[in-house]
Structure 1
Amino acid sequence: MFIPLHDSNDLKHIKLQWVTWSLIAINALVWGITELAGANSEFTTAAVLGLGFIPSVVNDFAELQPSLVLVPEDATYITYSFLHGNLLHLGSNMIFLWVFGDNVEDAMGHFRFLIFYMACAAAGAFAHGFLFPDSESPLIGASGAVAGIVAAYLILHPKVRVWVLVLGRIPLPLPAFIPLLFWVVFQFVMVVTDLGGEVSWAAHVGGIIGGAVLVLVLRRSGVPLFDRRIESPRAVVHKTPQIVPEEQSPQPPRQKWGR
């Protein structure tokens, strides 16, 4: 569909987006540990079953073996979001978090953004569990939390121009609402048309709804919604040529009149 590359939406309330960076680092670290252990190793399997969100377990239709219980069942509404199946799964989520997370963190502040991120992850798990209450497959991935960030960014900065890679090969600077609104609508369409697929579109939709609601509550006082400013990525910003005031412009030499 598209890959976000860059925006020029500068931070206004914080100096560094350290929560966004920390979340990316933790996700990458957890993936690295499971990757080193091996996708089919006992360690990775235990981590996925013990930390992943399993609707049938949470809804008391099934039970995990005691040796696989790593955290309380309710904690898996959040812990699942730090596990990823492969590098593509991790990378696609983290690039969205990298491009859009800093400005949402800026709009909320560090602590409230962390609460927002975890709440959107929980909303994604809840929607998945609601749609598939007896599923025994573990849900993993940060997609629900990232979907909430996309929804919040769309509401906060719809007109900021974002460089996106369309169809994997065409870089374009577009107003944020064009690719992001298309992405949001696509998730709602897929949750109806692809119920049996490997992707949990329900988790995406749950995150979107959670993010759209929570941004109204958790943003800083005075931070506007639907920012009307149009900001272009730095790579396409053109400097206005300086115009020399008339009184400072050089005068042509006067000609001497002769006979």
Structure 2
Amino acid sequence: MFPISDDNPTLRTPVMTYLLLGIIVFVWLFFQGAGLHSEALAVSVCNWGMVPGELTGRAPLGLAVPMSRTAACVIDNEPINLFTPITSMFLHGGWGHLLGNCLFFWVFGNNIEDSMGRFRFLVFYLLCGLIAAGAHVMIEPASPVPTVGASGAISGILGAYLVLYPRVRVNLLIFIIIFIRIIPVPAWVVLIYWFVLQLITGLPQLSSIRSDASGGVAVWAHIGGFVAGAALIKLFENRAFTAQRTTWRHRLHPDHP
């Protein structure tokens, strides 16, 4: 089940959404080698990914975490570590990771940018990403494993969308065995379903007996980003823009909520 579009037109060209997507893709293709060389990918994730244990000092210096058959990421205390909550937002671990994030960003990001303006959107995006990173560090403060991806910041966009446009229809691409269908559903159904999945996956991590149910995914970064976006959107929203968008959407889709 994948969101591929929504019935939520924009009034202004989402320049910042395009720019951020462009940077993410550029970094993947030219900085991470498009994932074609495992060594280059491992080096980029190790050097620029966020390691909770390095930020908190709770991972022992010199601890080596295998990244590939011939490479390991070694815990250090380099000054660059302080910037990894930002740099890690623009890195990814594989094509599936990249394309999934870009798809959600493409569908939902333009409307949130259109509701607050370009500069506010940039600040909102980065702030949600930092809060998401903080949530992951709080849950895994001693983890020596590098974390990368725009998922936390994009989760903030999803939380904001739920608050502003819960009843807008989102078109889902559904795979049922050999059948493929596109089904429009209210945004709140898609977003709450997604959030509940994150909670179901993440809650076992809070138990005293640790679980690997997350499959290596920083689900608490998703949860933290989503909650941050929902909580902050009214602070960042430009109400004049939102009112214009609502009027325009009702003109284009008078039968839609």
Under a length normalisation based on structure 2, what TM-score does the superposition of the two structures give?
0.80
**1:117 matched to which residue of 2?**
125
Secondary structure, in 3 states, of the residue corresponding to 1:74?
Answer: helix
Show structure 2 runs of 5+ residues with no match: 63-73, 206-210
Secondary structure, in 3 states, of the residue corresponding to 2:184?
Answer: strand
- Aligned match of 1:192 in 203, 225, 232? 203
Larger Rg: 1
For 2:75 and 2:169, how far apart are their aligned partners in 1?
Answer: 51
**1:249 matched to which residue of 2?**
none
1:60 is the counterpart of 2:57: yes
1:97 is the counterpart of 2:105: yes
For 2:108 and 2:76, how far apart are their aligned partners in 1?
Answer: 39
**1:217 matched to which residue of 2?**
235
Aligned ranges for residues 1-259 of structure 1 at < 5 Å?
2-12=1-11, 15-33=12-30, 34-36=32-34, 38-41=36-39, 43-62=40-59, 63=61, 69=78, 72-167=80-175, 169-193=180-204, 195-196=211-212, 197-222=215-240
CA displacement, residues 19-52 of structure 1 (integer Å, 9 cap, x when unaligned): 10111111111111213574422x4333212210
For 2:199 and 2:254, how far apart are their aligned partners in 1?
Answer: 38
Show structure 1 runs of 5+ residues with no match: 240-259
CA displacement, residues 61-113 of structure 1 (integer Å, 9 cap, x when unaligned): 244779995x6323211111111111111000001000100010011110010
> 212-221 vs 131-140, which deviates more?
212-221
For 1:126 and 1:88, how far apart are their aligned partners in 2?
Answer: 24
The answer to whether the 8 Å contact 2:54/2:76 transfers is no
The answer to whether the 8 Å contact 1:160/1:230 transfers is no
> 27-36 vs 143-152, which deviates more?
27-36
Alignment RMSD: 2.9
Q: How has the CA–CA distance of structure 1 residues 66 and 203 changed in structure 2, closer, same or farther, with 3 Å as cutoff?
A: closer
The answer to whether the 8 Å contact 1:56/1:134 transfers is yes
For 1:29 and 1:68, how far apart are their aligned partners in 2?
Answer: 28
Q: How has the CA–CA distance of structure 1 residues 110 and 76 changed in structure 2, closer, same or farther, with 3 Å as cutoff?
A: same
Give the count of matched residue pairs: 230
Q: How has the CA–CA distance of structure 1 residues 97 and 205 changed in structure 2, closer, same or farther, with 3 Å as cutoff?
A: same
Q: How has the CA–CA distance of structure 1 residues 107 and 30 changed in structure 2, closer, same or farther, with 3 Å as cutoff?
A: same
The answer to whether the 8 Å contact 2:170/2:185 transfers is yes
Matched to 1:187, the amino acid is: Q
Secondary structure, in 3 states, of the residue corresponding to 2:239?
Answer: coil
Under a length normalisation based on structure 1, what TM-score does the superposition of the two structures give?
0.79
The answer to whether the 8 Å contact 2:8/2:249 transfers is yes
Q: How has the CA–CA distance of structure 1 residues 86 and 36 changed in structure 2, closer, same or farther, with 3 Å as cutoff?
A: closer
**2:66 matched to which residue of 1?**
none
CA displacement, residues 145-167 of structure 1 (integer Å, 9 cap, x when unaligned): 11110110111111111111134
The answer to whether the 8 Å contact 2:117/2:238 transfers is yes
Runs (4 or more) in structure 1 with deviation over 3 Å come to 36-39, 62-69, 221-225, 227-232
Q: Percent identity?
A: 33
The answer to whether the 8 Å contact 1:81/1:121 transfers is yes
The answer to whether the 8 Å contact 2:27/2:90 transfers is yes
Q: How has the CA–CA distance of structure 1 residues 163 and 229 changed in structure 2, closer, same or farther, with 3 Å as cutoff?
A: farther
- Please identify which structure carries the higher helix content: 2
Q: How has the CA–CA distance of structure 1 residues 111 and 58 changed in structure 2, closer, same or farther, with 3 Å as cutoff?
A: same
The answer to whether the 8 Å contact 1:161/1:230 transfers is no
The answer to whether the 8 Å contact 1:84/1:141 transfers is yes
For 1:48 and 1:206, how far apart are their aligned partners in 2?
Answer: 22
For 2:195 and 2:248, how far apart are their aligned partners in 1?
Answer: 21
Secondary structure, in 3 states, of the residue corresponding to 1:72?
Answer: helix
